[in-house]
Every structure is written in C-alpha cells, then in structure tokens.
Amino acid sequence: MRQFLFTMLALVSVTICYSQVKQPAKWSFTAKKINATTYEIHFTASLEGGWHIYSQTTPDGGPVPTKIKFAANPLVTIQGTATEVGKLEKKHEEIFGVDVKQFSNKVDFVQVVKLKGKVKTNITGSIDYMTCNDRECLPPTSQKFSIAIQ
C-alpha cells in the first residue's frame, strides 16, 4: 500500500510539472500624462529569448496579429490606432505561406487617449496575441488589462 501511494504521488508531481503552461510574453501596462486630458497608454511585451510576437498589421493567412480591444468607457476617447515601438522584423514564413511582421525581445504598443474632462478613471480591455519560436507556435492568448488614469 505504501509503495502504491508513493507511486501515485510521484505520478501527480510529474504531471503537475509537465502541465505548466508556457508564457513567453510578459506584459506591463503604464500611462504617461502628456497634458491635462491626454495620455499615452503603453502596452509593453517582454519576450523570452527565441520567441516573437506579431505586428498588428500581419497579413491574413498568417499568424494571429496583435489586437488591442478597449472596453467601453464614456469618459475616454481612443485616438487612432496604437503605434508599435520596437525593432520590426519582416520575413517569409513557409509554415504560413506569407510574409510576416514580428517583434523579438521587446515591443511597446503605444495608444493615445483623451479624457473628456479632468476625471479619474480606468482604461480596461484585453490584448489578443500569438507567440512563436523556431519550433512551435502557442495558441492565441488574451491578456486583460486595467490602467488607472489620474
């Protein structure tokens, strides 16, 4: 009986160790005040070595492009689309059959927002993205965010 319990404990431990989800992208979210009612929102992805994330403008037929989605907030106006700050890499991916646009190491998506007055609020939403390395692509992931605007 004791040997059976030891074997079961070992199997559970191994299963837990191997079932950990890979998360090669670590996100940080910040707000930078430009003036009394204008802010830059920074969505920064830091990637583990060898991994990359895709541009918002990656073409159809390729990997999932990064997409920032904002929850409705009547106190905030989103100005245009987010700019991408980082070293953009363009290359042909045989697996997808298209030219892809990607970032390695780090990328900062910067979105300008305007408040409809001098108010305090939170900007919330999610970022949908996909990460790949030279051996595998992980399924598309969604990262929620909440950024205080003061």
In a domain? residue 78: yes
* Domain span holding position 96: 21-149
CATH, residue 38: 2.60.40.1250
Residue 18 CA: distances (Å) to CA of 12, 33, 69, 100, 127? 10, 43, 32, 31, 27
Q: Could you list the pLDDT tens digit for every one of the 150 residues in the chain?
A: 444 333 333 333 433 334 456 899 999 999 999 999 999 999 999 999 999 999 999 988 889 999 999 999 999 999 999 999 999 999 998 888 899 999 999 999 999 999 998 889 999 999 999 999 989 999 999 999 999 998
In a domain? residue 1: no
Domains identified in the chain, total number: 1
User: Among residues 70, 41, 65, which one has the least CA distance to residue 52?
Assistant: 65
In a domain? residue 97: yes
* Distance in angstroms (rounded) separating the CA atoms of residues 84 and 100: 15
Contact between residue 44 and residue 27 where contact means Cβ atoms under 8 Å apart: yes
* Distance in angstroms (rounded) separating the CA atoms of residues 112 and 149: 12
In a domain? residue 74: yes
Contact between residue 84 and residue 55 where contact means Cβ atoms under 8 Å apart: yes
